[in-house]
Structure 1
Amino acid sequence: MIDLGIAAPLAAALAAKGYEKLTAVQMAVLADEAQGRDLLVSAQTGSGKTVAFGIAMADQILAGSDKLLYADVPLALCIAPTRELALQVARELEWLYGPAGAQIATCVGGMDYRTEKRALDRGAHIVVGTPGRLRDHIDRKSLDLSGLRAAVLDEADEMLDLGFRDDLEYILAAASPARRTLMFSATVPKEIAKLAQDFQNDALRIAAQGEAKQHVDIEYRAFSVAVRDREHAIFNALRFYEAQTAIVFCKTRVNVNHLMARMGNRGFKVVALSGELSQQERTNALTALRNGRANVCIATDVAARGIDLPGLELVIHADLPSNSETLLHRSGRTGRAGSKGVSALIVAPSEFKKAQRLLQGAKVVAEWGAAPSAEDVQSRDDLRIFENPVFGMDLTEEMDMATQLIARFGPEQIAAAYVKSWRSGRSAPEVLTETAAPRDAAAPPRERSEFGASVWFELSVGHTGRAEARWLLPKICDAGGISKDGIGAIRVQSEVTYVQIAEGLAGKFGQTLELENGVVMARMAGEPSMDRPERAPRKAPAPRGDRPERAERAEKAPYEKRDKPAYVPKPSRLLEEARADGYDPIRGNDAPPAEAPQPRKPYAPRAEGAKPYAPRGDKPAYGAKPAYGDKKPYAPRGDKPAYGAKPAYGDKPAYGAKPAYGDKPAYGAKPAYGDKKPYAPRADGERKPYAPRAEGAKPYASRDAESKPRWKSDDKAAAPRSAGFKSHGGGEGKPGKATGFKSHSAEGKSFGKPKPAGPRAADTSKRFVPPKKK
């Protein structure tokens, strides 16, 4: 049993799990200086971080006891960025704290909220969840963190990349301030250090391994492939290594779905992990990888973060990661707990520099080379046939059948059938285009004169087709499956372009090759002639003194000021044509011909002191005005006062003055009744009689004995009235009412029958009795 100051229940669990010694990160969290302090731990993926923070917070959870009692509120909280990682952490803590009787509850997205709430209500000692679902439980008052003693942030850098900082601040703000906070991550960038300052108090920084020793159990390989051979290189890598479990990383879900379809058609047992899958589908995919029903997983970075797959020996980067930290996290899925693994990068020629920057940033060294070819895969398959462990097994029970097969088919036929059966269950290897590996970045740049033997090619595009070297270079590399180091000079001419290709790589282009629509690359017999055509020599300019025009200018008289002629407006062309036809557009056809314009008399200056305008009669000269005092005032008009004169204030009543109230009757006063003249009565016989009607007019029918009665009792054909009242048919001998009410008929069934005499019928048994109120 391991005895390094670990609580007895946890030590028993580690011993039962087969732990003989602790890893570096597990030893670091048990050091004396780390006891009871907040920790910021960085360790490579697969170094046992889950068990490390499990034993680190044992003192806060167990509090010196070997068995945990019922907990009203959670004692510890573990936050993970993804659902798979949260469930994986929960499984690790279950066996680690199983002997202590700890209750573990999970709160992750995609699961039933009611089931999680019931687990929390039963009393959970440790809660493991994702930031979003934990915040949801806090808002719904189903998770109380007031008694929290320890909080763990696993893969903290990934939670920041996914944008969970606000959720983390909300969750930790709801927790007890007396808690112990532990942060674990594979890398510690500046953002994680800033997060530690905000959430932790005097945290101890622990680096379990030096940066130079990152992933020492992982072999990094960089495969240089052509763009069109990217998928084929992935297939050959999977066939070459024949890993028990492999994972292929892509950037997007679209790439994951596309690659899964291609690999499924080729017979690979493959599953996918991406953000669009439900939790049940993700769980089924991981279960298939663990029980052997599938051996290849295609995933995105987020979906595969933190998952631990048994026997994961190969990681393939189908798309290069965005940064060095992501490269380390991807590669950390393999080479875990001392096992060996391979991390292979699929690199196109245009991504050489990016791959080198990623490897330098991760401080790892990769072996560059070509992807496994079809011959390499075939040779490895043949070697596996001889190394098949079935040949060393005890096959006594099968010897009888083997003897019969040899007697019937012969040993050669049986061996060939075995080889055929072995190969038929595997995908056929792909033939790849050879590509050159990139030069070492530290090597000095070569001189252009050292290019060596080469072959020239002519392209059917030039300056007129807007061709440029930077546009042609990647197209030539992709067409021939070579790197830019195999291309020498590129000379763009007016109509064509000449390209220099290394002699060893010229065969990949053949005699002619079409780069794209209309752009053809043809091999030349020799070197192109790129000398510019000679131009005719330019004629030397004549001396200035020998130019005749300069001599003529010199003989001319100097410039003299000439009188400028007066401006004469040019008549309109239409006006001239109209007048030429005898039509004057101003006077018309009937007007006499216009007289010739007389010359205008020139302006004669007046003598000095002459009066400009002669006075007209008594009118003073223009511009002359009488003196102000000489002006005659306006004459008064009769008795009207002078203009502007006003009567004295007393000559008119004061403003607002009104006549006395007695001058007019009071408001509303009316004359007495007797004062009003009544209507005069008409004299007897003065009323105008009615005018007699014209002869033949029908007189007004009266209802006396002499007039015709409205109905007769003996008239059987009399139709019933159409009114809806009993009074219209209740008399003796009257016909009944023809309506839809029973009270309007004698028997209550038919209409038009006479009713019995009297206001009501003699039979009262059918009388209507209103119902009693309940």
Structure 2
Amino acid sequence: MTDFNGVVPAIAKALVKRGYTELTPVQKSMLDPTLAASDALVSAQTGSGKTVAFGLALAPTLLENDDRFGPAAEPLALVIAPTRELALQVKRELEWLYEATGALIVSCVGGMDIRSERRALERGSHIVVGTPGRLCDHIRRNALDISALKAVVLDEADEMLDLGFREDLEFILDSSPDDRRTLMFSATVPAAIAKLAKSYQKNAVRIATAAEEKQHGDIEYRALVVSPSDRENAIINVLRYYEATNAIVFCSTRAAVNHLTARFHNRNFNVVALSGELTQNERSHALQAMRDGRARVCIATDVAARGIDLPGLDLVIHADLPTNPETLLHRSGRTGRAGRKGVSALIVPLNVRRKAERLLDNAGISAAWARPPSAEEVTARDEARLLADPIFEETPSEEARDLVKRLLDAHGAEKLAAAFVNLYRSNQSAPEDLIEVTVQDDRGRKRREHAEGPREPYQKGPRDDFGASVWFSLSVGRKQNAEPRWLIPMLCRNGNLTKRDIGAIKMQPDETYVEISTASADSFLQSIGPNKTMERGIRVTALNGTPDFSKSATSKPYAGKKAFGERREFSDERPKDKFRKEARADGERDERRDTKPWGKKPGKPKFEGKGGGGPKPKFSKKKG
């Protein structure tokens, strides 16, 4: 029997029965004798064996040198998990781990019959596993007595805080005995987790496993650069290329999940969706379809996928980039578990490459930058899989031999093989043709090259050395507030260009002419896609030759105005003062004012002195 030093004998038997030959780093760390009665804050990645780890850590505290538990009464340990799926998974793991100890384990999770849970609690238990909200309900209704607790475990503590369970966790911890052990397990330790640990743990031992220092060593990270219009097609090709047993595609919104689910259904993928708008029953059916093989692709949001465990998950695709490094690690941690290899593929449109680079750098991950699999590569991979299919090694049965002979006699070997290939391909989605993009980050390299040499003097207007070029028309002009300061970055993002590839820009009232070097014109058209449309719905049209810039010159509303900076000539007859004190004679007109339509209002009556019949002064001296 394999020797597990420091493990309770009954637990060691369960490990051997389960086929364990070696413990993971986080499981070994929980057997440290100095941790036997201490609180612990453990940072370990998803899939590193945390459930067995805290099962090993709890056993000495709960059994107290006994091999089996006594009669069940008030629970001795409480395990809190963020989601129903994870809580039920933890319960299943602890059941086989504590099978030889006679432990009675009860679950209390949302979506289940609360009356059945109350009856189970009344019968007694040794360990209770549940979600924060349901546990609080039972405690407030006096259905769950936690006065005898010896230990509390917070599994995926960072996720519980992200999901808004802080108040529930604080209520549970405040209601439990002060002399309990508190074990916190978290993939990351942000400031909120550190604050919670400081408030509810006593002299906690901080444990960072080797898996944390080597982020997901069994996961191959790939950053796949695509044209913005090819994002969904790239996902299809990635799914087809790897043909993983189970794959999960992460989106940032429910709307994106629904859109991709409908698109992939139409493309003959067996797909299910997980988003916040599903009921608990719908979630359970979707996950069961993934487990029993009826579905192979799960499209989910980050929140909806919290805590789920899918066996044989070999591929994670980030359809939308994660918002932070922690989310990237949580998503990718769904694959590469228990020694299995996995792939985490980030779909990186050209216009968000900088964001993807920062994300990977902050997460401490080195990814391989490449293009998505092309249609030819997917087809070649399909052919290799077909030729290596183990079905060709099987010996046909007697019934099959008779049918094979009849088929060969009727159609011949070549026609029969062609029919087999067509049947094989009919159940698969055809790969997509992708726009070819440059994986090399030319923009950054060119900037560095130009930065090393002397700066060229600023040249206003078109460059004389621009060389051969092609003119394009953009469907936005001066009337739509088009400006080079945002048009140039847009052209670079959408067209895979650099500023050196762009020549003159001529603004017109309703369109803009852009000069692009001939060497970059074809790749520019490929990058913007077959619809020839960029951001904001701006359409791009290739022109034959140089456009006529004089067409709109006569229609400029400001054509008669003088250029900025040109001095005006003023007449000596212009009045020096804005307000002239001298009175005008009757009938005198101000020719300068008459030239403007708003200057034709009748003037005010002028004061002519005494007896003039005019109005009295505003302030007159009172007589008498």
TM-score range, shorter chain: 0.7 to 0.9
Aligned to 2:471: 457
Q: Classify the secondary structure of the residue corresponding to 1:342.
A: strand
1:760 paired residue number: none
Give the equivalent residue in structure 2 for 1:216.
Answer: 217
Q: Provide, for residues 348-400 of structure 1, a one-character-per-residue CA deviation record: whole Å limited to 9, x for no partner.
A: 22221111111111110111222222212111111111111111223354344
Give distance in 1, aligned partners of 2:259 and 2:220.
Answer: 28
Q: 1:424 to 1:494 in 2, by over 3 A?
A: closer
Q: Summarize the Cα distance change of 1:518–1:164 in structure 2 as closer, same or farther, 3 Å threshold.
A: closer
Number of the residue aligned with 2:138 = 137
Q: State the Cα RMSD in Å.
A: 3.4
SS, match of residue 16 in structure 1: helix
Residue in structure 2 matched with residue 429 of structure 1 by the alignment: 431
1:459 maps to amino acid: S
Alignment of 1:510-529 (within 5 A): 520-523=540-543, 525=545
What amino acid maps onto 2:428 in structure 1? R
Which of 462, 466, 471 is the matching residue for 2:481? 466
Name 1:79's counterpart in structure 2: 80
User: Matches of residues 125-524 of structure 1 in structure 2 within 5 Å?
Assistant: 125-209=126-210, 211-395=212-396, 397=398, 398-437=400-439, 439=441, 443=445, 445-447=448-450, 455-459=469-473, 461-463=476-478, 465-473=480-488, 476=491, 482-485=495-498, 488-489=501-502, 491-495=504-508, 496-501=512-517, 503-506=519-522, 509=525, 520-523=540-543
TM-score (norm 2): 0.81
Distance 1:139 1:229 in 2: 53
1:62-141 matches, within 5 Å, as 62-141=63-142
Distance 1:97-1:539 versus aligned 2 partners, 3 A rule: closer
SS in 2 for 1:503: helix
Deviates more, 1:411-420 or 1:227-236: 227-236
Larger radius of gyration: 1
Q: 2:202 corresponds to which letter in structure 1?
A: N
Further displaced range: 346-355 or 37-46: 346-355
1:540 CA drift (Å): 11
Aligned length, in residue pairs: 551
- Give 1:254 deviation, angstroms: 2.1
Give 2:609's aligned residue.
567
Q: Secondary structure at the match of 1:343?
A: strand
AA partner of residue 288 (structure 1): A
Q: Displacement, 1:455?
A: 2.9
Q: Is the 8 A contact 2:225 2:439 kept in 1?
A: yes
Pair 1:474–1:239, CA change in 2 (3 A): farther
Partner of 2:618: none
Distance 1:128 1:335 in 2: 26
Q: How far is the alpha carbon of 1:519 from its aligned partner?
A: 5.5
Larger fraction in helix: 2
Measured against aligned partners, the alpha-carbon deviations of 1:184-225 in whole angstroms (never above 9, x if no partner) come to 111112221121111111011111116541111111111222
Q: Which amino acid aligns with 2:423?
A: S
Output one character per residue of 1:556-593: Cα deviation in whole Å (capped at 9) or x when no partner.
xxxxxxxxx993454369xxxxxxxxxxxxxxxxxxxx
Q: 1:420 to 1:446 in 2, by over 3 A?
A: same
Give CA-to-partner distance per residue, 1:527-562, whole Å, 9 cap, x none: 9999x99x99x99999xxxxx989xxxxxxxxxxxx
Change (3 A) 1:241 1:473: farther
2: CA distance between counterparts of 1:243 and 1:528? 56
CA–CA distance in structure 2, aligned partners of residues 34 and 440 of structure 1: 53
**AA aligned opposite 1:370:** R
Conserved 8 A contact 2:220-2:367: yes
In 2, Cα distance between equivalents of 1:304 and 1:455: 50
**Structure 2 alignment gaps of length 5 or more:** 457-462, 554-558, 574-606, 616-624
Distance 1:31 1:456 in 2: 71
* Cα separation, partners in 2 of 1:399 and 1:190, compared to 1, 3 Å: same
Letter paired with 1:445:
R
Distance in 2 between residues matched to 1:138 and 1:470, nearest whole Å: 61
Superposition deviation, residue 405 in structure 1: 2.3
Deviations 1:635-668 (A, max 9, x none): xxxxxxxxxxxxxxxxxxxxxxxxxxxxxxxxxx
CA contact (8 A) 1:317 1:346 kept: yes
Q: CA deviation at 1:522?
A: 3.1
For residue 469 of structure 1, report the CA deviation from its aligned partner: 2.8
Deviations 1:483-511 (A, max 9, x none): 34487336444424424256144365399
- AA in 2 matched with 1:500: I
| Alpha-carbon distance in 2 for matches of 1:4, 1:72 | 31
**In structure 2, the residue corresponding to 1:445 is in which secondary structure?**
helix
* Unmatched tracts of structure 1, length 5 or more: 543-547, 551-564, 574-774
> Which structure carries more relative contact order (alpha carbon 8 Å, separation 6+)?
2
Identity of matched residues, %:
52
SS in 2 for 1:319: coil
**Per the alignment, in what secondary structure is the counterpart of residue 100 of structure 2?**
coil
The one-letter code of the counterpart of 2:541 is M
One-letter code of the match for 2:448? P
After TM superposition, give the deviation of residue 401 of structure 1 in Å: 3.1
Deviations 1:585-617 (A, max 9, x none): xxxxxxxxxxxxxxxxxxxxxxxxxxxxxxxxx
1:109, distance to aligned residue in structure 2 (A) = 0.9
Paired residue secondary structure (2:395): coil
- Please give the alpha-carbon distance, in whole angstroms, between the structure 1 residues aligned to 2:533 and 2:57: 65
